[in-house]
Each structure stands twice: as structure tokens, then as C-alpha cells.
Amino acid sequence: MNKEELITALGQLGYRLFSPEKQRLSSKKVLDVLDELSASDDSRLIEAFPVVLANCARGGIKLDIRGLLSRYGTGSQKRANLEKLILASSDLMAQEGLDKPKELDGSVSHVRAKYGDLLKEELLDLGKHRSVSTERLRNALRRYAIDLERSESVRERNSRKQFRSFQLDLHLSTLFPPKQKELILKKLKGDSLSKTEQEYYSRVVKKKLESVVNSELRKIALALTKK
């Protein structure tokens, strides 16, 4: 894939610096694009990585992430670059409230123990004197989210928000009794808690939330839900 082909493919995948095309890309073509981006010497192209993944999630394009990683050996720099970009992109999409490709979770849980929280660093080291700013990755994804919101109708936005609200309520109800769920939602909205509520939240609810985000527990949950 030459640079012109890469730029055209990025346009098809929602990267706003390039003119989009109407033709839908195949899953394999998307994987080729991600591979090319991870190896690029142009940081502006690398910054498109999370945008491509977010656009695939929105378009329902299934991605063989494991297949992409298996193109390179376990200890190779190229595989490490892909792993880092996939992990950072996954965390950025979560922070920006964007849907992620379903196939991403299995790969992310596998590499998180290796790299930790990459977004804590200013730069993502990609070897061979290459790096990309984590803040610029975030900004590229944020521009995509803003453009997406502008292009959606009011009805589409409301429908998406309602669906996410339904999903959140469903998962919270599964894990927390009504009172605890109420406190979590109040904290999310920034509502003030009474002294009694704050003490109960710190003593009970926060500890349960910490358990939910425990990396080892998430690995176990992911493994068991796939059986």
C-alpha cells in the first residue's frame, strides 16, 4: 500500500483530514491500514489509529485483531507498536465515550499487563526513534467524535444516548443493589452527597468499584464469559 492508497483508505475510515469515499472497506483492508499506520514515520498518520478503530465500531466492521498481531513475532518491535496503539486507542475510546470494536477487548486484556496505563505518558514510544503524543492521539479522536456528533440527527443522538443509558442501568443493576446504584449515578452526575451517603460510598461502594476494575478480575471474567 503506497501513501496515496493509505490516505484514500483513511478518508474511507472517517479521518477528517482526508476526503471520505463512499465505498466500504473490507475487514482485511482495514487491518492493512492499521498495520501501515503503526509503521508510519508521519505522526499525523499514526494519530489516525484510534479514529480508524472507532469508525470500524460505528460501521460494524469486524476486525481480526489477533490475526493482525500474529503477523509479527511475539518479541518484534512491529508487534509491540501495534499492541501499544491498540491498548492506548481502546482506553481513549472508553474515556471519550465512543464504542469500541467488540474484538478489541480480548487483545487489550492480554497486553495491559505488559504495558500498563500508556496514557499516563506524554509520548508513546514506537521504537527506531519514533513516538507519538498521547495528547495528539486524544485530540484526533476527539475531533472525530465532534464531527460525528455534528453529522448525526437529533433523533440519532437521542437514540444512542438512550441505548447507552439503558446498558449502563442494566449492568449497574446486575452488580449493585438500588441504593448503591443510586449513589454511583449521583457521583457520576456530580451531585452532592450527604455526610452519611459519602461515608457509605467510601466504605462500601468505592471498594466494590475498585474490584470491578481490578485487572486480574477482568481477565478472569473475560476468560469465563467466553467459555
Q: What is the structure's pLDDT at 17?
A: 53
Residue 19 lies in domain: 3-150
Closest CA to 1 of 46, 38, 32: 32
Shared domain for 32 and 143, answered yes or no, is: yes
Shared domain for 54 and 25, answered yes or no, is: yes
Shared domain for 159 and 136, answered yes or no, is: no
Top-confidence residue, 7 or 193? 193
Shared domain for 103 and 116, answered yes or no, is: yes
Q: Is the pLDDT of residue 15 over 80?
A: no
Q: What is the structure's pLDDT at 56?
A: 92
Tell me, yes or no, if the pTM score tops 0.75. no
Domain count, the chain: 2
Tell me what the mean pLDDT of segment 79-94 comes to: 94
Distance between terminal CA atoms of the chain? 38
Tell me what the mean pLDDT of segment 121-150 comes to: 90
| Domain C-terminal end among 100, 127, 150 | 150
Q: Is the pLDDT of residue 201 over 80?
A: yes
Q: Which residues pair with 159 in a beta bridge?
A: none
CA distance 54 to 14: 9
Top-confidence residue, 30 or 163? 30
Phi-psi category of residue 223: left, alpha or beta, with phi > 0 → left and psi -120 to 50 → alpha: alpha
Contact 52, 30 (CB under 8 A): yes
Q: Is the pLDDT of residue 84 over 60?
A: yes
Q: What is the structure's pLDDT at 160?
A: 66
Percent of the chain at pLDDT above 70?
90
| Domain C-terminal end among 150, 169, 184 | 150
Shared domain for 141 and 158, answered yes or no, is: no
Element (H, E) at 122: none
Q: Is the pLDDT of residue 18 over 60?
A: no
Tell me what the mean pLDDT of segment 28-36 comes to: 94
Shared domain for 186 and 131, answered yes or no, is: no
| Domain C-terminal end among 132, 150, 168 | 150
Q: Is the pLDDT of residue 80 over 90?
A: yes
Q: Is the pLDDT of residue 157 over 70?
A: no
Shared domain for 29 and 134, answered yes or no, is: yes
Closest CA to 13 of 53, 46, 68, 44: 53
Shared domain for 144 and 164, answered yes or no, is: no
Q: What is the structure's pLDDT at 16?
A: 52
Tell me what the mean pLDDT of segment 169-177 comes to: 88
Q: What is the structure's pLDDT at 19?
A: 46
Shared domain for 139 and 166, answered yes or no, is: no
Shared domain for 87 and 146, answered yes or no, is: yes
Shared domain for 161 and 80, answered yes or no, is: no
Shared domain for 7 and 77, answered yes or no, is: yes
